[in-house]
Each structure stands twice: as structure tokens, then as C-alpha cells.
């Protein structure tokens, strides 16, 4: 029995965590076993790397170290959680995956996307999401929602142009990988966002 791998992408505050819970509840109502996880993180060591990546205090994180640490955490996550869960027939719902590295470190920081894809191929081997839901909204909307929610981490201290590049990067990725990406307007009401999510989940389950 083989499970499925669903990833949720988008800038901060667009509603990824909120909708992962919604997706998980829907799949559980269909008697599907789900595992909700996140990047960076998901396993003990990957969560330790997350702390290094998002901490606002201490030693400066060089951009190349940041890029490699996201992939180091991902390797722990894939080998010790994602692949075993899929092989046991579970649905893994993941808050961000390699598309985030292309959007943030590629389009945001300016690393060459070709180089990122080479590292991604080493780390992921053949693993690709079956469905990637991109929650898309103008950067100001997500930033405002994230601010209303509370404290900010190291990755949330960039200026607005950084997040606009990230958004553009995501939209280009969605256009390039139409086989697995769906784009949902996350500036709409949560009710409308979730109606669209259900439509795409039902298609995946067909
Ligand atoms: N990062 C990277 O650079 N490279 C990588 O490879 C990876 C990650 C994997 C991880 O942050 C950071 O790491 C992230 C990218 C970077 N940083 N940045 N910047 P994280 O995992 O801690 O958090 P996040 O990814 O930035 O997401 P978030 O801030 O937790 O937001 P969210 O999960 O998308 O949103 P939410 O918490 O579900 O919703 C935010 C609020 O909006 C909340 O009060 C909701 O009730 C509300 N909401 C949600 N939807 C709606 C709608 N439709 N209408 C109105 N209000 C809504």
C-alpha cells in the first residue's frame, strides 16, 4: 500500500497551518491515516536545525549555510519520517518542502535555481509531492496576518520586496509544474479557500 505526499506552500501568514488542520480532518473523515508535519522540522534532529535557522539571536547565519541547513533538515525528514510513512500507506501533509527553498533561497536570496535543483535531486531522489497547494496572496496580506498572530522569527525580518520575489517565485514554479501544483487565492475568505481545497482533495482521492 502506498500513501500520498501533499505539500502546502505560500508566504508567511497565508493560512498554511490553518488549512493543514482542515485537510487532515477531511482525510480522517474518509478513514485515511494522516501525518501532519512541517519544514524545516518534522523529526527531532530536523527540529534542532529549525531552531538554528529561525533563531533571531546568536551567530549570523551565512546565506549558503542557511541553504544547506534547509536541505540537511529535509534529508532527516525524508528518510526518517516522510518515506516510511508513505510506504506504510499514510497521507503525509507537509507545511512547506523544496519549493520553499526555490522560492525563498532562489528567488528571495538570489541563489541559482539550477544549483538548488541539483541539491534537491540528491536529497529527494525520486520523492516528489503528489499534490502541492499554493496559497497565494499579496505579501502585505500575509505579513499583516502573521504580525497579528504574534512574535516574528529570523526569516520574517526581510523587507517587503523579498516577500514579493518569493511570491513571484512560487507562481513561476506553479506554472512550471502544473501536473502537481494548484494555486488558490488566499486573500479570499477562509470558507472559499477551503471549498477550493476540498475540490482538489476530492480529485486526488478519485
Ligand atoms: N523557509 C525557507 O526560507 N526555505 C525553506 O526551504 C523552508 C522554509 C522549508 C518557516 O516559517 C520559515 O522558513 C519561513 C520560510 C522559511 N519563513 N518566512 N518568512 P514557519 O514554518 O514558522 O512559518 P511560516 O511558513 O512563515 O507560516 P506561518 O507564519 O505560520 O503562517 P501560515 O501557517 O501560512 O498561516 P496561519 O498561521 O494558518 O494563518 C495566519 C493567520 O491568518 C491566522 O490567524 C489565521 O486564522 C488567519 N487566516 C488564515 N487564512 C485566512 C483567510 N483566508 N482569511 C482571513 N484570515 C485567515
Q: What are phi and psi of 43, to 5 degrees?
A: -130, 170
CB-CB contact of 43 with 80 (8 Å) = yes
Residue 154 is predicted with a pLDDT of 67
Q: How close is the Cα of 103 to the center of ligand 1, in Å?
A: 14
Alpha-carbon distances of 124 from 50, 108, 118, 119, 120, rounded to whole Å? 19, 22, 10, 9, 6
Question: In the chain, what percentage of residues exceed pLDDT 70?
Answer: 97
Distance from residue 1's CA to the centre of ligand 1 (Å): 32
Nearest-angstrom CA–CA distance, 103 and 201: 24
pTM over 0.75: yes
Q: Reply yes or no on domain 4-205 having CATH 3.30.230.10.
A: no
Ligand 1 pocket mutation pick from 12, 72, 110, 150 by most atoms within 8 angstroms of CB: 12
What pLDDT was estimated at residue 158? 79
CB contact set of 4 (below 8 Å; sequence gap of 6+): 86, 91, 92, 130, 131, 204
**C-alpha to C-alpha distance for 9 and 119, rounded to whole angstroms:** 19
Residue 1, pLDDT > 90, answer: no
- Which residue has its alpha carbon closest to ligand 1 atom 31? 13
Among 2, 200, 4, which Cα is nearest to 93's?
4
Q: How does pLDDT run across 96-134, given as a tens digit for each residue? A: 999 999 999 999 999 999 999 999 999 999 999 999 999
Find the residues whose C-beta lies inside 6 A of ligand 1: 10, 12-18, 38-40, 70, 95-96, 100-101, 104-105, 145-146, 149, 153, 155-156, 186, 189-190, 193
Check whether 202 has a pLDDT greater than 80. yes
- Give tens-digit pLDDT for 124-163: 999 999 999 999 999 999 888 877 877 777 676 778 899 9
Residue whose CA lies nearest to ligand 1 atom number 52: 190
Give the β-pairing of 181-185 and 131-136: parallel
The pLDDT assigned to 146 comes to 78
Q: Distance between CA atoms of 154 and 150, rounded to whole angstroms?
A: 14
Amino acid at each position: 500500500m502506498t500513501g500520498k505526499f501533499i505539500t502546502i506552500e505560500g508566504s508567511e501568514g497565508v493560512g498554511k497551518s490553518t488549512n493543514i488542520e482542515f485537510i487532515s480532518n477531511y482525510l480522517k473523515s474518509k478513514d485515511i491515516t494522516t501525518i501532519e508535519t512541517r519544514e524545516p522540522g518534522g523529526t527531532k534532529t530536523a527540529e534542532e536545525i529549525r531552531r538554528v535557522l529561525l533563531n533571531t539571536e546568536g551567530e549570523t547565519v551565512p546565506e549558503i549555510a542557511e541553504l544547506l541547513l534547509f536541505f540537511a533538515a529535509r534529508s532527516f525528514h525524508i528518510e526518517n519520517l516522510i518515506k516510511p510513512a508513505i510506504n506504510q500507506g499514510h497521507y503525509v501533509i507537509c507545511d512547506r518542502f523544496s519549493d520553499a527553498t526555490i522560492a525563498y533561497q532562489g528567488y528571495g536570496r538570489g541563489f541559482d535555481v539550477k544549483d538548488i535543483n541539483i541539491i534537491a535531486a540528491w536529497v529527494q531522489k525520486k520523492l516528489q509531492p503528489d499534490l502541492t497547494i499554493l496559497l497565494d496572496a499579496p505579501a502585505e496580506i500575509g505579513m499583516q496576518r502573521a504580525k497579528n498572530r504574534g512574535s516574528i522569527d529570523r526569516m520574517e525580518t526581510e523587507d517587503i520586496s523579498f516577500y514579493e520575489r518569493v511570491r513571484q517565485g512560487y507562481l513561476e514554479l506553479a506554472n512550471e509544474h502544473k501536473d502537481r501544483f494548484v494555486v488558490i487565492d488566499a486573500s479570499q475568505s477562509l470558507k472559499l479557500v477551503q471549498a477550493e481545497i476540498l475540490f482538489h482533495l476530492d480529485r486526488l482521492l478519485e
